[in-house]
């Protein structure tokens, strides 16, 4: 079985954080010209943004090592519409909104807790998952990939420019399941040839749901999920947004902002699912 450096998300609840740089005043990366609030050390937030800090606080109590949350929330498990924002915890322990709250789309059949879903059922896995990491077929470490050039990810985030050979395996109990393999065009019916998705995968952050060592790529392992990303909306000809097959999507500008904000020193996690579920 292939190994990536991240185990099943539910087991990852550890981590410490070194001291950061002295206080600075920074500019907003998602709204050029808008000043962000002065922040303790290099943690930055938007003074003008509002977000659901009550849900953030509830998630944080269960994941105390995490200092950055990408919150992707719906009203109920059946909803395909929801919202997205990023929050950060300052060195003083206070949570702040890093981005405004924007509309998001979820799986075509809603969301479902990871251990209750199965690959291909059309739901987005619900739960709290780390930023995913995998090793591509050519040895590159990947946290974010894209059919557009790197938008300016932080040091320590592995960004991959999609190659013609890149295929994300999604056939349950196959050795390629939930791995980025060399298979131009992708032969498997459920596999994803990344180039084919064009600007929908302009940038895509890997959500660490069901990663190795127990990912469903061996006989007998349960295939909970494969190819779960945060990516750009897909649109109908009318201009309305489409639900996803199991990922979460947001508008392009907001996606690029989120990707640029992901900070490996803050142990970023994705909190996904209905608000009451996340608050427990």
Give a yes or no: residue 3 inside a domain. Answer: no
pTM over cut 0.75: yes
Range of the domain at 223: 9-279
Q: What is the mean pLDDT of each run of 10 residues along the chain (280 residues)?
A: 40 33 32 43 82 98 97 98 97 94 98 96 97 97 98 98 97 93 91 97 96 82 95 97 98 98 97 97
Residue 75 covered by a domain: yes
- Evaluate whether residue 174 is within a structural domain: yes
CB 230 within 8 A of CB 255: yes
Q: Within a domain: residue 253?
A: yes
Say if 4 falls within a structural domain. no
Work out the number of other CB atoms within 10 angstroms of the CB of residue 11: 11
- What's the number of domains the chain is made of? 1
Measured at the CA of 218, the angle between CA 213 and CA 223, to 5 degrees, comes to 80
In a domain, 247, yes or no: yes
Q: What is residue 212's predicted lDDT score, i.e. its pLDDT?
A: 72
State the pLDDT at residue 215: 81
Cβ atoms within 10 Å, residue 97: 21
Q: Is residue 136 part of a domain?
A: yes
Strand order in the sheet with 166-168: 180-182, 166-168, 192-193
Q: At a CB cut-off of 8 Å and minimum separation 6, what does 76 contact? A: 110, 274
pLDDT reported for residue 53: 97
| 1 belongs to a structural domain | no
């Amino acid at each position: 079985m292939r190994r990536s450096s991240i185990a099943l998300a539910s087991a990852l609840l550890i981590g410490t954080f070194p001291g950061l740089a002295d206080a600075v005043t920074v500019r907003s990366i998602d709204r050029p010209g808008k000043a962000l609030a002065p922040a303790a050390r290099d943690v930055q937030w938007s003074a003008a943004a509002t977000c659901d800090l009550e849900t953030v606080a509830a998630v944080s109590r269960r994941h105390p090592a995490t200092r950055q949350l990408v919150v992707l929330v719906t009203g109920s498990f059946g909803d395909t519409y929801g919202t997205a924002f990023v929050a950060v915890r300052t060195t003083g322990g206070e949570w702040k909104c890093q981005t405004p709250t924007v509309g998001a789309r979820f799986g075509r059949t809603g969301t479902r807790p990871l251990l209750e879903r199965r690959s291909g059922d059309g739901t987005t896995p619900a739960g709290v998952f780390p930023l995913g990491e995998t090793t591509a077929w050519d040895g590159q470490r990947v946290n974010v990939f894209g059919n557009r050039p790197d938008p300016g990810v932080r040091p320590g985030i592995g960004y991959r420019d999609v190659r013609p050979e890149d295929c994300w395996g999604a056939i349950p109990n196959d050795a390629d399941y939930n791995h980025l393999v060399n298979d131009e065009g992708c032969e498997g019916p459920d596999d994803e040839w990344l180039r084919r998705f064009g600007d929908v995968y302009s940038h895509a952050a890997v959500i660490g749901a069901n990663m190795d060592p127990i990912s469903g790529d061996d006989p007998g392992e349960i295939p909970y999920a494969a190819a779960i990303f945060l990516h750009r909306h897909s649109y109908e000809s009318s201009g309305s947004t489409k639900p996803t097959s199991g990922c979460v999507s947001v508008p392009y500008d907001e996606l690029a902002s989120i990707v640029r904000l992901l900070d490996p020193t803050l142990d970023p996690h994705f909190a996904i699912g209905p608000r009451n579920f996340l608050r427990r």
